Amino acid sequence: MQLQLMMSSSFSVFRVGISFVMMCIFYMLAVDSLPELSPQKFFSTLQPGKATLAYFCQADSPSTSVFLEELNEAVKPLQDYGISVAKVNCVAEETSRYCGREEDLMKVYLFRGSILLREFPTDTLFDVNAIVAHVLFALLFNEVKYITTLGDLQNIENARKGRTNIVFSYVRAIGTPEHRAVMEAAFVYGTTYQFVLTTEISLLESIGTEDIEYAHLYFFHCKPVLDLTQQCKRTLMEQSLTTLNIHQFIKTMEAPLLTEVAEDPQQVSTVHLQLGLPLVFIVSRQATYEADRKTAEWVAWRLLGKAGVLLLLRDSLEVDIPQDANVIFKRAEEGVPVEFLVLNDVELIVSRVESNMYVAQTQEDEVGDMEGPNMENISESFKMGSQKTGIQDDEVAETVYRDRKRQLPLELTVELTEETFNATVTSSDSIVLFYAAWQAVSMALLQSYIDVAVKLKGTSSMLLTRVNCADWSHVCTEQNVTEFPVVKMYKGGENPVSYAGMLGTEDLLKFIQLRISCPVNITSVQEAEEYLSGELFKDVISYSTLSVLGLFSPTMKTAKEEFIEAGNYLKGCVITGIYSGEDVSILSNKYAVTLPALLLARHKEGRIESIPLANTHGQNIVQIVTNASLETFPEITVENLPTYLRLQKPLLILFSDGSIDPQHKKVILMLVKEKHLDSLTPCWLNLNNTPVGRGVLQAYFHVLPPLPLLVVVNLHSGGQVFAFPSDQAITEENLLLWLKKLEAGQESHITILPAQEWKPPLPAYDFLSMIDAAASQHPTRKVSECIKETDVQENYKEQPEDQSAIRKESTGILRMKHWDRSNWFEEAKKPFRHDNKEL
């Protein structure tokens, strides 16, 4: 790829002044475009500030013919960068140390003028891409920083804040076509931006990239950042790494983020149109200018590198546009009229642009030949938004697009329409997926939903159905679907239950399999024992780590009503049962608990816990069961961390590079059993399963420490991190002694996590505050993942927002509020149950 027209006048290879000499004493192949010189003539032509590539050869070796062909191919692109190329014929009458020793014959020599700068093995220059990449990499050693660790990247990022933006790239190997493309871009833009290069997969993983199969390029917006504790915004280049794509991408980064215009959109032209990207006009009125501008800026960040965003001032516009239009879409193709749209959500605007990008890349349907989206009709019919925000949506959209050719067996689910919906859900127990075919998150959940259908094929009496809200908006409105995707369970004429768990196959499957009407009415003491042992529902017990049995005397009417209410909320999460026979005292005496009470059967651990329920309301019962369903010593993942953070206790984390050592697990569980860890949340993290753990450790220690490693992280308040001494074995005695020193304030922290806040870009996007406000009114719903519908406004949105928040928290900025180290153990001690008997 030639960049002659792109070269910066401020950067010239003459400034570098390097001569590149390649030697060999082999067969001389005649190459027309490769000048041939004698050693004396070659050295006499070298000039300070002039780069020259020379190949010293002697006679009679046909093995060099392939290399000479590649070198010949490299002549023209190297000349475009001001680098001359020559072949030097070694002759007997002229002596040169580059025509001498045999061990020198397989090396490449890099000179600045006549001074040797560097040597390369000739086998690294295996083709024209490798030759150009290595030469430019050597020339640009000041402009391109090669790094291997996350710490290196963080140091460069901190050094560039407030000064220069960064172009960070990952390539699989040095000398690849992608490496050459990055070097060619660096040749042009190296004096404007700080280029950073790596070949370390672990480094790419640490910044959150899931797909590491291909080369990646990020633009770090560090120049506007003045606060050293603030992270630079990052924009991923989604196209393949070619010289032209990188050039176009950087040009879009240089363009103004937002431009205000007051002219006919059809006549507006920006650099985006010249680069083949569309324009999005946010239509504004004088009365709403400030809010419109903030929205436009938010859209511009979301579409950076994908489209140009402009703020169109309607009041100053002479051209008439439809009164209800608030977005105008202009394609890059000449002669195509602009589109006037009504899109009342940022996600709809982003999806519109991304869907057009995908259509431009392929003429196939977005997902097989399924429901094709009609964006204009959808945008006018719905005022709905996505459940996920920020970068997460981009990643979901990218995954859906990457899997677009995957053929889903949609025939395993029943597609419902306005005519068939009511008849279907009233005549059979049904699971309904409400989704929009144009939305990335919907299509991602549809894949998980179909995977569930495959697993349940021929084994379930539950009918799996789906409704495309893009086609049947009236059905979705009637069913209180105010956002999508949503999964609901319709069973036996009862109120539908909305699913609010993770969007993966296993969690969906658990929700469907635990569809038992809860609480189950237990009729005898013997049946209660069968229930607690797992025999009564052995077909589904594998999907529930906990069975809950409420014990009540026949006269405890109010307490039973509270428990039944809690059981309804917990439907699809755990199995709940109730027994209130005359002989209920047999069970209460056996498990040493006063009525009313809960019995919690932990099937994996083979034990039963009892909890008294005197004056306990339904929402508190839900909280108790939710906490009890947590594992005693869980493996922490990005998905389950929010659940354990709600316990508001410091984390005792065992970091492991693989499966946990059984002896270490035994030590922790023994301390849990002996009640020594009640003030902590003991857990472990497998770096192989959760690579972001490496970034967490580096945030704690600045370098990756030896593993396994125990740390206490006070996420409840203060941000202090304590490390168990690495020179001590993890035994009960050592660990207990160390924890007592922590409690007494005799241990020093290794670091204090910075007090960073993850604020929303605009007040209207402060979803977490909205969740907290809703939860304060409905505390029961906050702790439960399974929600009974009673209102039009449902709480399904809570889970995605929690997940989005924890993706940021899990990178190491895990902290809470105020902490007094002297009493942190005491504050966390809130025991409410005791063990009674093992099964």
Q: HEC profile for 250-303? A: HHHHHCCCCEEECCCHHHCCCHHHHCCCCEEEEEECHHHHHHHHHHHHHHHHHC
Does residue 92 contact residue 25 with C-beta atoms inside 8 Å?
A: no
- The runs of H, that is alpha helices, within 303-345 are none
- Half-sphere CA count of 173, side-chain side, radius 13 A: 7
Classify 433 as helix, strand or coil: strand
Identify which of 550, 465, 456 has the alpha carbon closest to the alpha carbon of residue 509.
456
Is residue 51 packed enough to be buried (19+ CB in 10 Å), middle (13-18) or exposed (0-12)? buried
Q: How far apart are CA 342 and CA 319, in angstroms?
A: 18
Q: How far apart are CA 796 and CA 787, in angstroms?
A: 8
Peptide bond into 779 cis (omega under 30): no
Q: Encode 683-721: b = buried (16+ Cβ within 10 Å), e = exposed.
A: bbbbbeebbbbbbbbbbbeeebbeebbbbbbbbbbbbbb
pLDDT at 221: 94
| Cα radius of gyration (the chain) | 33
Q: How far apart are CA 166 and CA 223, in angstroms?
A: 9
Does residue 683 contact residue 644 with C-beta atoms inside 8 Å?
A: yes
Does residue 257 contact residue 297 with C-beta atoms inside 8 Å?
A: yes
Phi (first) and psi of residue 240, to 5 degrees: -65, 155
Within 10 A of 493 (CB to CB), how many other CB atoms are there?
7
pLDDT at 561: 87
Q: How far apart are CA 499 and CA 387, in angstroms?
A: 14
pLDDT at 222: 94
Peptide bond into 596 cis (omega under 30): yes
Q: HEC profile for 443-487? A: HHHHHHHHHHHHHHCCCCCCEEEEEECCCCHHHHHHCCCCCCCEE
List the structure tokens of 404: 């677009």
- Residues in the chain predicted with pLDDT less than 70, given as ranges, are 1-33, 58-65, 91-96, 100-108, 208-213, 356-407, 515-517, 539, 541-543, 572, 755-839
Sequence-ordered list of residues with C-beta below 8 angstroms from that of 219, at least 6 positions apart, any chain? 165, 166, 167, 168, 234, 235, 237, 249, 250, 253, 305
DSSP labels for 184-230? Answer: HHHHHHTTTSEEEEE--HHHHHHTT-S--SS-EEEEEE-TT---TTS
Q: How far apart are CA 224 and CA 308, in angstroms?
A: 20
pLDDT at 87: 76
Q: What is the pLDDT of residues 277-316, one digit of tens each?
A: 999 999 988 888 888 898 899 899 989 988 999 999 888 7
Report the DSSP beta bridge partners of residue 520. Answer: 577
Residue for token digits 């439809």? 322
Q: How far apart are CA 110 and CA 253, in angstroms?
A: 34
Write the DSSP symbol of residue 4. G
Report the DSSP beta bridge partners of residue 809. Answer: none
pLDDT at 93: 62
CA 488 remoteness from chain centre:
26
Within 10 A of 83 (CB to CB), how many other CB atoms are there?
23
Q: What is the pLDDT of residues 482-506, one digit of tens each?
A: 887 899 988 877 788 888 777 777 7
Classify 233 as helix, strand or coil: strand
Classify 305 as helix, strand or coil: coil
Report pTM: 0.43
